[in-house]
Amino acid sequence: MDSTNVTGFPLKEIKREPTLSEKVAEALTSYIFDNGLRPGDKLPSERELGEYFKVSRTVIREAVRSLVGKGLLQSHSGARLTVSEVASEAVGDLLDLVLRGRAVGDQQGTQRALWQLHEVRSTIEVQIAGLAAQRATPEEIERLGQVLKLLDKASSDEEKVQADEAFHRAIAEATHNEFYVVLLDSLVGPLQQLRRATLKLRKGAPNARAAHARIFDRIAAGDVEGARAAMAVHIAESGQALQRLTPEELKAAEVE
pTM: 0.69
Least confident of 69-78, 86-95, 213-222, 229-238: 86-95
Q: Where are the beta strands (DSSP E) in the chain?
A: 73-74, 82-83
What is the overall mean pLDDT for the chain?
82
Domain at 20-83, CATH from 1.10.287.130, 1.10.10.10, 3.30.70.141, 1.10.1060.10? 1.10.10.10
Do the beta carbons of residue 40 and residue 82 sit within 8 Å?
yes
Q: Which CATH architecture has domain 89-252?
A: Up-down Bundle (1.20)
Report how far apart, in Å, the C-alpha atoms of 110 and of each of 22, 43, 81, 82, 196 are: 32, 41, 38, 38, 14
β-pair partners for 83: 73
Residues 43-94 pLDDT 10s: 988 899 999 889 999 999 999 998 887 778 888 777 788 998 766 566 656 6
Do the beta carbons of residue 152 and residue 129 sit within 8 Å?
no
Cα separation of 213 and 154, whole Å? 16
Residues 113-135 pLDDT 10s: 778 888 888 889 999 999 999 99
DSSP string of 97-151? HHHHHHHTT-HHHHHHHHHHHHHHHHHHHHHHHHHHHHH--HHHHHHHHHHHTHH
User: Which sequence spans correspond to the domains of the chain?
Assistant: 20-83, 89-252
- Percent above pLDDT 70 for the chain: 77
Contacts of 156 (CB under 8 A, 6+ apart): none
